[in-house]
């Protein structure tokens, strides 16, 4: 029998949300706490628990790394879609990437999709670049995509998406060109999958490959963090950016009042530049320093 939301919120939910915050930094919102029981149904079934109270009791009594991981994966919000916020992708394709290309002197493009979920954002970037591959002839393109959810990264690596997934934002032309049927699902082509390095990574204990990225996307991730945790993420993003890097956040996120390293970009609406640097477009070509 389902537990009343009030009982869940006052008891087991505190244990479960505490596990989520300690492992990921995410603070469970009231709306997500209310849906906790639904999200955890597969965990209850797979581990043989009758209800959330029994699950919480097990978490308190003993440490089971597999159970901890399954609970965290279930509670994470892995909402994603292809070309989510299409105007942003159009701006990246038509304005930001050409600007980066014109200013690079080493013919290397490095992109980091942080909090990539099941990979649609990274695949969307790979599709846009592949559709314009002649422009990038002779370039080394690196797309890093990271997420704390092991299950999300495992799915992203397969490149397999359901019919519902591909109907959410993926143009039919790109579906036909870059995906192939996989039973009732669709699988990204080997060429697309090779373009992306999917890695499980924790933004608060990050093992991102050394160096700096030209374009950093951390969209709809900061919403779930406390102000102190957001500052930690901005510090990490700053360490992996250079003076001409461009940062993209979600529509409900901002650096204003939260970061000493970034400021609203003077040219690209809704994106951010490093503070204390020349506006993009001024001066000579970029030179990588890391």
> Domain ends where: 17, 42, 75?
75
- Structural domain of residue 64, as residue ranges? 5-75
Residue 287 has pLDDT above 70, yes or no: no
More reliable by pLDDT, 270 or 282: 270
| Mean pLDDT for the stretch of residues 171-186 | 97
Give the pLDDT of residue 54: 85
Say whether both 98 and 15 belong to one domain.
no
> How large is the average pLDDT for residues 260-267?
94
Average pLDDT estimate for 104-109: 93
Is 15 found in the same domain as 139?
no
Q: pLDDT for 76-106, tens place per residue? A: 777 789 999 999 999 999 999 999 999 988 9
Quick check: 284 pLDDT over 60? no
Residue 154, C-beta contacts closer than 8 angstroms, at least 6 positions apart: none
pLDDT at 254 over 50: yes
What proportion of the chain, given as a percentage, has pLDDT over 90? 63
3-state SS, residue 169: coil
Task: Please check whether residues 188 and 127 belong to one and the same domain.
Answer: yes
Q: Provide the number of structural domains found in the chain.
A: 2
Residue 229 has pLDDT above 50, yes or no: yes
Looking up residue 161, the CATH number of its domain turns out to be 3.40.50.150
Same domain, 157 and 15: no
Q: Are residues 171 and 223 in the same domain?
A: yes
Quickly count: other Cβ atoms within 10 Å of residue 81's Cβ: 18
Which residues lie across from 145 on neighbouring strands? Answer: 113, 198
Q: Answer yes or no: is 285 within a domain.
A: no
- Judge if 105 and 231 occupy the same domain: yes
Residues 52 and 185 in one domain: no
Residues 129 and 180 in one domain: yes
pLDDT tens, position by position, 34-89 = 677 788 888 888 898 888 888 888 888 877 888 888 888 788 777 789 999 999 99
Give the model confidence (pLDDT) of 7-44 as tens digits: 444 577 788 878 888 788 877 766 566 677 788 888 88
pLDDT of residue 140: 96
**Burial (CB count <10 Å: 0-12, 13-18, 19+), residue 62:** exposed
Rounded distance between C-alpha atoms, residue 53 and residue 103, angstroms: 57
Q: How confident is the model at residue 29, as a pLDDT?
A: 64
Read off φ and ψ for residue 207, nearest 5 degrees: -125, 35
Same domain, 68 and 212: no
Query: Would you say the pTM of this structure is higher than 0.85?
Result: no
pLDDT for the residue 34: 66
What pLDDT was estimated at residue 134?
94
Residue 146 sits in the same domain as residue 185: yes
Pairing label, strands 160-161, 108-114: unpaired
Per-residue CA distances from 206 to 53, 150, 233, 240 (Å): 33, 14, 10, 11
Same domain membership, residue 171 and residue 31: no
Residue 145 pLDDT grade (very low, low, confident, very high; cuts 50, 70, 90):
very high
Residue 287 resides in a domain? no
5, pLDDT greater than 90: no
């Amino acid at each position: 029998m389902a537990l009343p939301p009030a009982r869940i919120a006052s008891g087991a939910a505190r244990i479960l949300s505490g596990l989520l915050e300690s492992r990921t930094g995410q603070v469970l919102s009231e709306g997500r706490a209310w849906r906790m029981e639904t999200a955890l149904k597969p965990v209850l079934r797979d581990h043989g628990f009758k209800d959330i109270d029994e699950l919480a009791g097990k978490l308190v009594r003993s440490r089971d790394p597999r159970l901890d991981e399954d609970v965290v994966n279930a509670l994470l919000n892995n909402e994603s879609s292809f070309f989510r916020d299409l105007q942003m992708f159009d701006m990246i394709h038509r304005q930001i990437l050409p600007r980066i290309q014109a200013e690079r002197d080493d013919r290397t493009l490095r992109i980091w999709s942080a909090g990539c979920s099941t990979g649609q954002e990274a695949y969307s970037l790979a599709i846009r670049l592949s559709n314009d591959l002649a422009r990038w002839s002779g370039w080394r393109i690196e797309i890093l995509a990271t997420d704390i959810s092991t299950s999300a990264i495992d799915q992203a690596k397969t490149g397999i998406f359901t019919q519902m997934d591909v109907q959410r934002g993926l143009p039919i032309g790109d579906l036909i060109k870059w995906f192939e049927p996989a039973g009732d699902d669709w699988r990204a082509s080997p060429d697309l999958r090779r373009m992306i390095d999917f890695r499980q990574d924790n933004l608060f204990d990050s093992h991102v490959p050394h160096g700096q990225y030209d374009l950093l996307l951390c969209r709809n991730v900061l919403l779930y963090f406390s102000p102190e945790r957001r500052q930690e993420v901005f510090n990490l993003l700053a360490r992996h950016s250079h003076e001409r890097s461009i940062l993209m956040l979600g529509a409900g996120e901002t650096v204003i009042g939260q970061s000493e390293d970034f400021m609203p970009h003077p040219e690209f609406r809704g994106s951010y530049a490093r503070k204390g640097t020349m506006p993009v477009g001024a001066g000579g070509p970029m030179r990588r320093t890391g």
